[in-house]
Amino acid sequence: MPIRPLADGDDLRLNEVFADAPTPAAHMARSLFRPSADAPLLRSVLAEVVPGVPVGAAAIAESPLHPFRAWVNVEVAAEERGHGLGRELFEAVSAETAGTPLEGLDLRARVEAGSDGEKFAEALGFSPLTTTRVIKVPAGALPPSGGGRAEDLEIVSTGSVKLTKAFLEWYIAVNRNDAVAPLTIGQVSQAFLSEAAGAHGAAMLMSDSAAAGSGDAGSGSAAASGLSAFAVSYAREADPAAVGGAQDASANLPGEGEEEPATELILGSIFETREDVAGATAEEFDAAVSDAELLLARLSVDADVVIEVTSGMPVVSALADRLLAAGQASELYRYETLTGPPADSV
C-alpha cells in the first residue's frame, strides 16, 4: 500500500476514517499526526488506498522533557488491521528519522491497558515501562481531618520558588526509569506551573514534625525544608505547548463530561524523592501516605478531584489503592507506557 509523508489536511482526513479516540491519551497521541517538522522535531507518514483516502498513519516526535526516548504513535483504520500495515508504517516512519536527532533513539508509546495497541506494541518488541492510572475522587469522599494540622497547610502561588524546586526534585525522582532532561527552575515553571501549562492553584503540606519556616528562598532538599506533600491544580482548557509535553507533564486529565469539571491535580509526596524508599520503615511510609491523603482530602471537600498515578509514585499509588478498595475513588483509565528500540533494531 502506498505510504507517503503526511501533508497539510491529512489530519482532518484521518479523523473521518478513525473512530473517535477512546481515551484522552489516544486523543493526545493523534495530535502527532501532522506534517513533519524540525522545531519541534517530528516525522510522520501516511498510508492511503487511493489518493485522498488514508487508512493509517505513524509519527515519531521528540520528547523535550524525556529526551532519551521519542514518542511514537501508529494507528490503522479498523477494517485494515491484521494485515501488516501497522508494521509497515512503523518501519516507514522510523526510516524518516534518518539523519535527525531522532535516529537511533529508543521509543515510547502510551496505550490503553489491554488494548489492541498494547498487543501491537508488544509484537514489535516493546516492553512495559510505566503503568498509569487516572482516578477520580468524588467531592467529600475523604472527610477533611488531621486534628490541628491546619497550620501545616499552605496555599501558595504556582510561581513559588519553594514549590518549583520541590516539583523538580519530585518529578526527577518519580521518573527514574525514564530519565528527565536537565531542567532549570525556569523551565520547570514554564512546563508545569505556568498559566500556559494550565496551572492555576497550588498547596503544600508540611510534615507533622516540621512546620514551614524556611520560606521560598530556603536551601536544600524539599524534605530538609519540612515539606511532606504538594498539589498543583490545572485548568481543563490547558494546552501545553511542547510536543509530547502534555504526555510528559501529565496535564489535561479527563473529567468524564460532568457539568462541573473535576479539579485536576498533580499530587506529589516528597517521600518519593528518597533514594532509600525501599528501605524506609513501615511507619515512615504510612505517615507519608497519610499526609498525601490529608492534602487530597482538604482539596476535595467541595469538588470532584482527578489525579494521575504512575507506578513510579509509591506513596500516591498506595493511597490510590486504599481509596479504590474503600470505594472512595473510581478508576477512569489505565494506561501502559511501553518502550522499545527503533524499527531497524527490531
Give the model's pLDDT for residue 32.
97
**Cis omega (within 30 of 0) on the bond before 254?**
no
pLDDT of 329 over the 90 cut: yes
Question: Is residue 61 within 8 Å of 21, Cβ to Cβ?
Answer: no
- For residues 298-322, give the mean pLDDT: 96
How far apart CA 132 and CA 308 sit, in angstroms, is 7
- For residues 317-332, give the mean pLDDT: 98
Tell me the pLDDT of the chain averaged across its residues: 88
- For residues 142-169, give the mean pLDDT: 87
pLDDT of 228 over the 80 cut: yes
Q: Cell digits for 271?
A: 517521600
Residues 101-149 pLDDT 10s: 999 999 999 999 999 999 999 999 999 999 999 999 999 999 876 555 7
pLDDT of 200 over the 50 cut: yes
* Nearest C-alpha neighbor of 131 from the set 155, 114, 148, 152: 114
Q: Identify which of 155-164, 222-231, 244-253, 274-283 has the greatest average pLDDT.
A: 155-164
Grid cell 501497522 is found at 86
In sequence order, the 6+-apart residues with CB closer than 8 A to the CB of 78 are 19
Work out the widest C-alpha separation in the chain, in whole angstroms: 69
Give the model's pLDDT for residue 67.
96
Question: Is residue 199 within 8 Å of 192, Cβ to Cβ?
Answer: yes
